[in-house]
A and B are shown apart, each in its own frame.
Chain A
Amino acid sequence: MNLIYNWMYYISSGGLILIGMYIVLVKTNLIKIIIGLHFIDTGINILLICIGYVKGRTAPIFSTSGINPTNVVDPVPQALVLTAIVIGVAVLALALSIAIKVYEHNKTLNVSKIKRLKW
């Protein structure tokens, strides 16, 4: 039982990354491929936070007087993931605008039918 509790967060993040990669490799609808990109981003964020976790300690905010500096989790991965979430949504918005323009020009969203580069 202890083995499952030690591995369950790694299984969740690895599972999300693999499902996202399957969508990007196999599916042919452009908006579904963008959903797959979002899954890969979310999986990597869970992996970064669960590396900085220490069992039995608490959040790094010294608001009450009972928290001393040997009692908190690692604050550096949390700062990194805060930046990564905002950059993920910026990439998503730009990808969706390009998908809308591709649909207005080719009248289809199937990637195996959009083959011409010049118009």
Chain B
Amino acid sequence: MRTRKIVSIIILLIIAGGFMITFSQIPFGKDKINVANYYISRGIEETGAVNIVTSVVLNYRGFDTLGEVTVLFIAAIGLGAVLFVEKRVQKHTSDNKEDKAKRASLILRTGSNLLFPLILLFGAYIFIHGHLTPGGGFQGGAVVASGFLLIYLAFPKQSINKKSSSVAESLGGLIFIGIGLLGLIFSGYFLSNFLPKGIPNTLFSAGIIPIIYIAVGFKVGFDLTGIIDDLLGRSK
């Protein structure tokens, strides 16, 4: 164990020396913008979205976003397959004392009843206005999943309906691919922007970008909720 520590510290010092040689070649804060000059100067008139990061993620590099949604989906499926229990042995504890001891406190129960619709509304606002303000599908989906986590913490016996959650998640993924294929039919390449662009800085603008972000928001939100549900081991 001692030799392992000494050898690893020597290796880490060599890697730290390599880092210092590399970082001295990259000046901090100088202007190195090369490819993105095209995206910044022609972004608004080609896509209609005011948020340039959104138009890069969904319009210019939209295929990478499809790959990322697929990776999250595979992780959720893999987790459900590894933690699979065949026969759920249900211990029917009809002990009233144990039931009363398992309930959360009154402040947590009342507070989460009041806060849960507001958190869902806030998450929906973030992923609907993804092309106007900082935000988008992934951030809004994470906020929705933390709303469901609050319900799991406050009511230890409750679980969401697994069937409707998986239907909503699959609908999100299918809408993403369906709009990409419609772009293939109308314009000749996958994920092209075929709806009218509208006036910039209004809500109904930027073509297909709000529709795809709503689908991604649903999918990421219910994916993360399903991951937490499988780890807790609760739904039947």
Contacts and interface: CB of A to CB of B under 8 A. Distances in A.
Question: How would you classify the secondary structure of chain A's contact residues: helix, strand, loop or mixed?
Answer: helix
Interface string A16-57: 011001100110000000000000000000000011111100
A60 B79 CA distance: 37
Interface string B1-27: 000110011011001100110010011
Interface residues of A, number: 43
Contacts of B9: 22
A100 interface: yes
Closest 6 CB pairs of A and B: A90-B75, A55-B29, A25-B8, A60-B52, A79-B56, A10-B23
A109 interface: no
Contacts of B15: 18, 21
A14 B21 CA distance: 12
A90 B36 contact: no
Nearest to A87: B71
A95 to B, nearest CB: 10
Interface string A92-103: 011011101100
A53 B29 contact: yes
Given A10-B28, A75-B40, A101-B83, A22 B133 contact: no
B201 interface: yes
A106 to B, nearest CB: 15
B51 interface: yes
